Amino acid sequence: MKAIIFDLDDTLYPEREFVMSGFKVVAKYLAKKYALNQFKIFNFLRFDFKNGIRGKNFDLLIARFNLSKKELKSLIKIYRNHKPKIKLYPDAKKILKYLAKNKKIKIGLISDGAVKTQTNKLQSLKIDKIFDAIVLSDSFGKKYRKPHLRPFHLALKKLKIKPEEAIYVADNPLKDFIGAGKLGIFTVRIKRKNGIYNDIQEIKKNRSNLIIFNLLQLRNLC
């Protein structure tokens, strides 16, 4: 293997941290603008997220606090563009440091999501400069998000390696391993105790080649 390519959210850091960080910024904005209780707003958002609500969180918030529906775009923009307070998983910090010292193994990253949002995450985590190749799929359109093959093709091109020389590490079977698997990249699923997609079952078309529970296990593959 000549390179390890990582997913970002819930692979290198807890995605819930970003969500909560965004909710706090949104709550602060609304509390100041409408003289509302910031903690009530935040707790409302946190409760819904904890109970599995995704995508409609701000719609429900607007309805609950009788806000103008015009606020929706502002809330989404504030959430996506805020500078998050997030930290790497301990094992992610260690494996990235280990790989950075191992000059024989290149490291890459492929991530979906708004470019500004993902860039802010990388900068907050202080890992925006350590990768040999970074591919943010939204930079060439949402339709190219995983499982589309284009992000993987581009990462391989930037790393100057063949598919069979790469490992792709991610957490979400719904999209992460389909495209990589089609190209012949060795896929590794990281399962974390509180991962958002931890309970998703794999089927034949999205099955990873290997499941691990700590990123330091990757040292056995290098």
pLDDT digits (tens, 9 = 90+) for 81-101: 999 999 999 999 999 999 998
Model confidence band, residue 199 (pLDDT cutoffs 50, 70, 90): confident
Q: What is the CATH number of domain 3-13+87-220?
A: 3.40.50.1000
DSSP annotation of 161: -
What pLDDT was estimated at residue 193? 85
pLDDT interval class at 164 (50, 70, 90) = very high
Residue 206: what pLDDT? 87
pLDDT of residue 201: 83
The answer, yes or no, to whether residue 57 has pLDDT greater than 90, is yes
**Cα distance between residue 154 and residue 133, in whole Å:** 9
**Residue 137, token pair as written in the block:** 């799929």
According to DSSP, the residues that pair with 212 across neighbouring strands are 190
**In sequence order, what are the beta bridge partners of 210?**
188
Closest by Cα among 1, 22, 187, 6 to 111: 6
Q: How far is Cα 222 from Cα 212, in angstroms, rounded to an integer?
A: 14
pLDDT of residue 109: 98
Structure tokens at 119: 């860039």
**Is the Cα torsion angle 35, 38, 43, 48 positive or negative in sign?**
positive
At what angle are helices 38-50 and 15-34 packed, to 10 degrees?
150
Alpha carbons within 13 angstroms on the beta-carbon side of residue 74 total 12
Domain ranges in the chain?
3-13+87-220, 16-81
Per-residue pLDDT tens for 127-161? 999 999 999 999 999 999 999 999 999 999 999 99
pTM: 0.94
In terms of C-beta density within 10 A (0-12 exposed, 13-18 middle, 19 or more buried), how is residue 212 classed? middle
